[in-house]
A and B are shown apart, each in its own frame.
Chain A
Amino acid sequence: MKSNGIIDTRRLTVLSLTVAVALVATFIESRIPPLISVAPGAKMGLGNIAPLIALIVLGVGDAYIVTAVKCLLGAFITGGVSGLMYSVPSGFIALTIEVLLFAVVFDKLSVTMISIIGAVVFNLVQLLVASLITGVGLMTLLPLLVVAGAIAGAVTGLLTYHIVKKLPYSVFGSSRR
């Protein structure tokens, strides 16, 4: 089927683009001092823009694919496989929360807010993992991480919202609208 082939090509293109964006964000993030001083693999989560875009534009399954690829390639880029211990649980749990929020409360809650909640969850899971790994009570960092998550989530959420809003339907390959 010809139309199917076109859609698949576009899907692959969008997938690749979102992963590329995530990797650039991950690289930029790796230049920023770590959020949790005792957990060098923990990140602020700017790379979470990729799963969010994939979730809106492509769908749930592709958002999980992007998250998995982002985690793997991110570990290669930052040269730390230990980063996977933080990025995998936090990335997948945060995405699951966003999937549920999109299914249940969108558009009462905006893309921005869903992204903020996802990012806060992302950071909370990282903190939990860091506490488990280091065996150190890190709860004093909790308020700081929630604030950092909210900022990262607002940035990625607003970016995602404006990207999806500004791009014409033709980019997404539809002639039906």
Chain B
Amino acid sequence: MNFERIKRVKSSKAFTVPDAIVSVIMVIAVIACALFVYRLPSADVIISVRGEKDIRLSLDSETDIELKHLTVHIHGGQVWVTDADCADKTCENIGKISGTWQRIVCLPNGVVISVTGDDDSLQWEIGR
């Protein structure tokens, strides 16, 4: 039996001032880490026209790109298409996409818009 340590524990406090300091540091570290980690999967939007011209933009780029046959909007981590001159309007009707497994296709104009990501864990779960 470690009586010396038992005695020290008995006379110690459940929570100390240095505990509070370490706790605050840990909370700040977790928040900083969470902000960093949950921002990391910075995905890119890839716009491919007739399989030849690839435009690569960040999903965070907050821009509108006017192409010949349609306009691509990238805002708030979402991508969508308006002003398409195709007959079926499938590309517009898909609506807003944001995930790595989603894509917008405008067959008549040969435009494919996809989102790439580095979120391995997400892909892994989907892969199951």
Contacts and interface: CB of A to CB of B under 8 A. Distances in A.
Contacts of B124: 38, 134, 136
Contact of A10 (B1, B7, B29, B31): B1
Interface string A100-129: 001001111111110011001000000000
Report, as a range, how many residues of chain A touch the other chain. 35 or more
A35 interface: no
A176 interface: yes
Interface in A18-54: 37-38
Interface of B: 1-3, 5-16, 18-19, 22-23, 26, 29-31, 33-34, 37-38, 40-41, 118-121, 124-125
Contacts of A116: 23, 26
Interface in A134-177: 134, 136-143, 146-147, 150, 158, 161-162, 164-165, 169, 172-174, 176-177
Given A56-B6, A106-B8, A143 B30 contact: yes
22 contacts: A11-B1, A38-B121, A107-B12, A107-B16, A109-B22, A110-B15, A111-B9, A111-B12, A111-B14, A112-B14, A112-B15, A112-B19, A113-B15, A117-B22, A137-B118, A143-B31, A143-B34, A146-B30, A146-B33, A162-B14, A165-B10, A169-B3
B1 A7 contact: yes
Chain A binding surface, main DSSP class:
helix
B121 A59 contact: no
Contacts of A68: none
Nearest to B33: A143
Given A106-B12, A110-B19, A113-B22, A37 B1 contact: no
Contacts of A107: 8-9, 11-13, 16
A85 B28 CA distance: 31
A110 B12 contact: yes
A57 B16 contact: no
A103 B123 CA distance: 44
Nearest to A14: B1
